[in-house]
A and B are shown apart, each in its own frame.
Chain A
Amino acid sequence: MRRRSSAQRALIAAGAALLALFWFGPFMLVGIGSVIPEGNLLSFPPRWFAHPPFLGNYRYIFTGEIPQTYLERGALRSMISQEVRLVPRAMLNSVLIAMAVMFLSLTLGSLAAYAYARLRFPGRVATFNFILISRLIPTVALAIPYYAIVLRLGLLNTHWALIAIYTVLTLPFTVLVLTLYFRTIPGEIDEAAQVEGASPLQVLRHITLPLSLPSLVGTGLFTFMLAYSEFLFGLLISTSARTRTLPVTLGTLSTNPDVAWGLMMASIVVGSVPTLVLVIPVWRFMVRGLMSGAVQ
């Protein structure tokens, strides 16, 4: 190991401290903001910590029980936003949509990826490139046509439209990652099965997919996260409050000048739970994929 001078060590420590502040600081502020009563949050000069931690914001989101602190001062009463109560519902919407997208993307993606990884057929390279490049078109350029198509099909305000759109948006990623992964599985196993008379579909189902389980899980969860987080199409297609996804519900809340920020913070914490639960397996998968040189 290289030995470091004390100046180098100080530099590393300072960099690490700055980075930690940058990564974690905003989250800590949100967490703190969610347990401060509105009156203290808005006070000037700031008296944030004059009140013991307060869970009324969280209680309101789930039960609709208006926190005592909001009743104390008449002026703040109007700041309670009914929309915050839609957060659990929006989370459910987002989870259902994301699960459907994950399933569809993995099904279509693994079929195509197997063919790209193992079979030769006319148009193989051209169609593969086409699928990948399609995703690089800015989504806003597709927004108008998608909106018009969804409108014409009468699917506005349905989850079906979002499921279809998110499947298209995630499919290129799924195809790319699964193709690269399938290629790392030795081809001899497939050939042996083919000698036994198995069709490509059977090989995929009984050999390749079971061998690719870690990659399938990682890709699937990544797809889930993308679908769970998407904003633009969610905003365009779900116009009614009940069908909205979580990012759209939160995003529109933040543009509402009447929103109570304590409630907003608590909504963010609640709404981030699914992503934070999934993020560790997804990240492991991604980092391992990158380190093994799939992207090099």
Chain B
Amino acid sequence: MGQTTAPRGRAEPLPVERGRSYQWRLARSGVLMTLPALLVVASFTVYPFWYALNESVHLSSPILGRRFVGLDNFRNVITSPYFLDAARTTLIFGAIAVPVLVVLGVLVALLLNERFPGNTLLRAGMLLPWAIPASVVGIIWKWVFLDSWGALNAGLYSLGLIDRYISWLTTPWLARFAVIVAFTWSQLPLAAILLLAALQAIPDELYEAAAIDGASAVARFWAVTLPGIRPMLVIVTLYEILMALNIFDITYAMTGGGPGTATSLLTYYIWAETFKMLSFGNGAALAVVIALLALAFIAAIIRALPKEALLGERA
């Protein structure tokens, strides 16, 4: 830009109009500035994914060496009763935990949207479960539900509500319940705050108009609130599905996948198959399966987002 000799004034062309070489230099800066981040992300995404794909069609063993087996690994894992069991557990887990989270998220958001003493304290209290590492969430709830001297058993017993300790973590359905409680506890804050943000964006006039029309509180909820938060509801639901597919730390610390395989969710199963059983081919095939599943959800999330939500030009 050094060659500009004309005196500066209103006639000075804006940089955007200054010609092709300037445009080209800006574009070059753009590419150079995004390159480091892009290279880092790409090398840790594309290569590993390719690696997993490649590994998933090979069988490596210390004795026979490495050979191509096509889709055998996929057939192995998909037909394995353990995989089907983990998939079923994940499905049950998601089918219960996600609706519970979304409904509770709406209820908590509605509650925090009201004025009452202690509201700020409750909002601040949401920080705690949200900020704690998920493995610690697992330990905290393990302590609550522990069979032999857990806080819940001790408390219920001391209150005289039970006369014998309940085996929360060693009874399959109770253990699943306990894991869902822990998961809900750690996920609810973000779900609720996102929905609260959406609630607060609904214009008051809509409520006033509905009230003038004589709509009851329940009718107002269905006619005004729900349509207003629907985009966020979709986002929260899909996000929580992804989180439910990803859950690992909580079950690792809380139940170790047990009792038996009652709380072995897909991620835990993949981890155990790969790093406990050391069958990398099967693990990689599972990883590819779960990545494809997640990509399907991602596609759904992107379709649910309003167009031009992120990089689109604003009017």
Shortest distance from the beta carbon of B39 to any chain A beta carbon, whole Å: 9
Q: Which residues of A contact B133 (CB under 8 A)?
A: 228-231, 246-247, 250, 275
Query: C-beta contact mask, A71-107 vs B, less than 8 Å → 1, else 0?
Result: 0000000000000000000000000000000000000
- CB of A280 within 8 A of CB of B127, answer yes
Q: Choose, from B64-72, B76-84, B290-298, the stretch at the interface.
A: B290-298
Q: Report how far A92 CA is from B133 CA in the complex, Å.
A: 16
Query: C-beta contact mask, B143-171 vs A, less than 8 Å → 1, else 0?
Result: 11010110100100110000001000000
Q: Choose, from A59-67, A211-219, A285-293, the stretch at the interface.
A: A285-293
Choice from A29, A111, A172 contacting B34 with Cβ under 8 Å: A111
Q: Which residues of B contact A291 (CB under 8 A)?
A: 197, 200
Chain B residues bordering chain A, tally (CB within 8 A): 104
Cβ of B183 under 8 Å from chain A: no
- CB of A12 within 8 A of CB of B111, answer yes
- CB of B253 within 8 A of CB of A112, answer no
Choice from B245, B302, B310 contacting A176 with Cβ under 8 Å: B310
Beyond A122-B31, A168-B41, A251-B139, whether A194 also contacts B126 by CB under 8 A is no
Cβ of A248 under 8 Å from chain B: yes
Residue on B with the closest CB to A275? B131
Q: Report how far A141 CA is from B269 CA in the complex, Å.
A: 12
Residue on A with the closest CB to B294? A138
Beyond A46-B158, A116-B34, A121-B30, whether A140 also contacts B197 by CB under 8 A is no
Q: Report how far A156 CA is from B29 CA in the complex, Å.
A: 36
Shortest distance from the beta carbon of B6 to any chain A beta carbon, whole Å: 12
Query: C-beta contact mask, B231-268 vs A, less than 8 Å → 1, else 0?
Result: 00000000000100110110011101000000000110
- CB of B267 within 8 A of CB of A140, answer yes
Interface SS of chain A: helix, strand, loop or mixed? helix
Q: Which residues of A contact B223 (CB under 8 A)?
A: none
- CB of A295 within 8 A of CB of B194, answer yes
- CB of A232 within 8 A of CB of B193, answer no
- CB of B310 within 8 A of CB of A180, answer yes
Q: Which residues of B contact A248 (CB under 8 A)?
A: 135
Beyond A20-B125, A140-B271, whether A268 also contacts B41 by CB under 8 A is no
- CB of A131 within 8 A of CB of B38, answer yes
Cβ of B26 under 8 Å from chain A: yes
Choice from B8, B14, B16, B48 contacting A145 with Cβ under 8 Å: B48
Cβ of B221 under 8 Å from chain A: no
- CB of B40 within 8 A of CB of A146, answer no
Q: Which residues of A contact B245 (CB under 8 A)?
A: 138
Residue on A with the closest CB to B16? A191
Q: Report how far A46 CA is from B27 CA in the complex, Å.
A: 70
Q: Report how far A7 CA is from B28 CA in the complex, Å.
A: 65
Cβ of B45 under 8 Å from chain A: yes
Q: Report how far A272 CA is from B129 CA in the complex, Å.
A: 11
Q: Report how far A101 CA is from B118 CA in the complex, Å.
A: 36
Q: Report how far A174 CA is from B70 CA in the complex, Å.
A: 39
Residue on A with the closest CB to B254? A254
- CB of B287 within 8 A of CB of A143, answer yes
Q: Report how far A13 CA is from B285 CA in the complex, Å.
A: 51
Query: C-beta contact mask, A216-252 vs B, less than 8 Å → 1, else 0?
Result: 0000000001001111100110000000001110110
Query: Taking beta carbons and an 8 Å cutoff, which residues of B are in contact with A?
Result: 1-2, 8, 12, 14-16, 26-31, 33-34, 36-38, 40-42, 44-45, 47-49, 51-52, 55, 107-108, 111, 114-116, 118-119, 121-122, 124-136, 138-144, 146, 148-149, 151, 154, 157-158, 165, 185, 193-194, 197-198, 200-201, 242, 245-246, 248-249, 252-254, 256, 266-267, 270-271, 274-275, 280, 283-284, 287-288, 290-291, 294-295, 297-298, 301-302, 310-311
- A to B CB contacts below 8 Å, 13 in the list: A27-B128, A115-B29, A121-B31, A130-B42, A136-B295, A141-B291, A145-B48, A229-B135, A231-B249, A232-B271, A254-B135, A261-B149, A293-B201
